[in-house]
Amino acid sequence: MAKPSIGGSFVASILDTKDLFRLVHSDRESIPDVPAVYFLMPTEENIQRISQDFQNGLYDSYFLNFISPISRQKLEDLASSALSFGCVPTISKIFDQYLNFISIEDDLFILKHQSSDDISFYAINRGDIKDTEMDIIMDSIVDSLFSVFVTSGAVPIIRCPRGNAAEMVAEKLDKKLRENLRNSRNSLFNADTLHSGQLSFQRPLLVLLDRTVDLATPLHHTWTYQALAHDVLDLALNRVTLAEDYAHAASDHSRPKKKTKSYDLNPSDRFWSLHKGSPFPTVASSVQEELDHYRACEDQVKHLKSAMGLDGESDEAISMISDNTAKLTSAVSSLPELLEKKRLIDLHTTVATAILDEIKGRKLDVYFEIEERVMSKSAFDRSLMELIMDPEKGSPEDKLRLFLIAYICCPSMTEVEFDQYASALGNAGCDMNALNYVKNWKAFSKMATMPQYGGGGTKTVGMFSRLMTQGSQFVMEGVKNLVVKKHNLPVTRIVDALLEQKNGPEVEEYRYFDPKLLRFTDSNSIPRATTPFSDAIVFVVGGGNYIEYHNLLDYAKSKTGSSQKKLIYGTTQLINASQFLRQDGTPYYTVGFAFRAIKETR
């Protein structure tokens, strides 16, 4: 997977050994005798700005790198500008980089961050969307997915369900790959055009899914570290933004939330890499263990200094002690590593405290436990009404999410029961438009197979004995120590069936595309691979979430030996429940594909 591409555009000027980065639309002064590297989307606005730079003669030479391929018309416009301003010799290189996506993790990517609403679930499923608008959205998704496979250097076998946006994306992507492979001279998948290490004897499987395959999981209150941070905090592009007061007054609900501070959560952080998929109680306990270990190391250094009568001395003096103080010298030499460890402990203490504050304030452990029970048994839980009517437990959005999950997962609810809960939700201050959407969607979905959520649930183990002590950073009293039972979500079960070439009701109607078989255009007549796949890219059209991502990772980790799997999760945008229910003040309440399908059947 490529390094993250970005939504913005910039210019890098090379000055001796230093690189100077500037946004392409910022005010920039002329720097003679200096080459400039441009990295930007080939938009009309950006092309005009490059032409303006040509006119002003800002740089000695230009290296133009376009994130996605530039069209012939815009390339001709650029050439005309270069001719007009006499700077053709200064244009050194023009590249189509095919980096129109963002790698969040080694095995996680999204298509957009800025302007991601253009390809959102709402944008795709608007009932009044025009065919031309839909084509623009689908082409945008296909262009980005094409970039993913050009970067990976592999032509996938494509599987997708019928009758939704995923099928449209599959058809267009298959066509685009075929057209590129057909042009043998300029194909981007020839061995000569691939970097070393990109060749593989086994092709990956691309599983294209529509968000409507599972509407309950995006609404689910989660219990793992990364997913919780995304749900209850402001986490985007591996950076979490918190109110500064969290670090000092995590239990003070009346604190002002004006000043904010951002923290980067990246793979170099060992604790984050190890625990981002762990249940929150495990994370809280591990943070406390790390803190205790740091304090022990710190006390050891202080004790050694005190024992040798060096209190108050500088570190320089300590480092020059004779050989019989080797133990102290070793301890002091580890101080930089110790300080970095302390910084990361402080970071995760702050983040975990902020999450804990939300869990306790909104009783999220209660919501998570009930939702797991509902989703695992597919049976209606009569205690929902009590929780919905309790003003002390959860926000109106929490209550709405809980009921929507119960309504989606349980087919036995009567119309009278629905009206009773709808009335209770209205009294609790919930926005009823989401409920009306799900009701219409569920009525339509009776025509197809509903997703099954079996095998989940939770169990409560001993309370947080280590974290209930007076010296703990986390006051966990009143929060349940829930252990999540391992289970596969609907997306993971579909992926498993397709990887292992299983026949089942969930995948029997899935279409099959193989862009390399140029003579076959009908997916029903294409010769199919029969051996299990080991590599797969799972892509969800309409928004994905960290819950599905970690569930797929857990599934891949469970496969060992000859059945080992390598999975990559991708989506149009990473969304939490709040974003899924509402975007820019506009509820997601139309059923574009569904309503069009209903009209066709009538």
Burial class (CB in 10 A: 0-12, 13-18, 19+), 486: exposed
pLDDT in tens, 93-128: 999 999 999 999 999 999 988 777 889 898 898 878
Please tell me the least confidently modeled range out of 49-58, 226-235, 293-302: 293-302
Please tell me the least confidently modeled range out of 175-189, 355-369, 549-563, 575-589: 575-589
Nearest to 2 by CA among 62, 64, 71, 67: 67
How far apart (Å, rounded) are the C-alpha atoms in residues 162 and 144?
Answer: 21
Instruction: Report residue 436's pLDDT band, with 50, 70 and 90 as the boundaries.
Output: confident
Please tell me the least confidently modeled range out of 21-35, 50-64, 565-579: 21-35
Instruction: Report residue 5's pLDDT band, with 50, 70 and 90 as the boundaries.
Output: very low
| Mean pLDDT calculated for residue range 166-175 | 96
| Mean pLDDT calculated for residue range 280-293 | 89
Q: What is the DSSP letter of 485?
A: P
Domains of the chain with CATH codes: 4-96 (3.40.50.2060), 102-214+489-584 (3.40.50.1910)
pLDDT at 586 over 70: no
pTM here is 0.85
pLDDT at 199 over 80: no
Q: What pLDDT, on a 0 to 100 scale, did the predictor assign at position 100?
A: 93
pLDDT at 250 over 70: no
Q: Are residues 244 and 332 in contact, defined by beta-carbon separation less than 8 angstroms?
A: no
Please report, rounded to a whole number, the percentage of residues in the chain having pLDDT higher than 90. Answer: 49
How far apart (Å, rounded) are the C-alpha atoms in residues 82 and 465?
Answer: 71
Instruction: Report residue 15's pLDDT band, with 50, 70 and 90 as the boundaries.
Output: low
For 98, left (φ over 0), alpha (ψ -120 to 50), or beta? Answer: left
Q: Which residue has the tokens 């926000």?
A: 395
C-alpha distances in angstroms, 64 versus 92, 255, 338, 588? 8, 49, 44, 39
Instruction: Report residue 475's pLDDT band, with 50, 70 and 90 as the boundaries.
Output: low
Query: Position 54: which residue type?
Result: F
Work out the mean pLDDT of the chain and round it to a whole number: 81
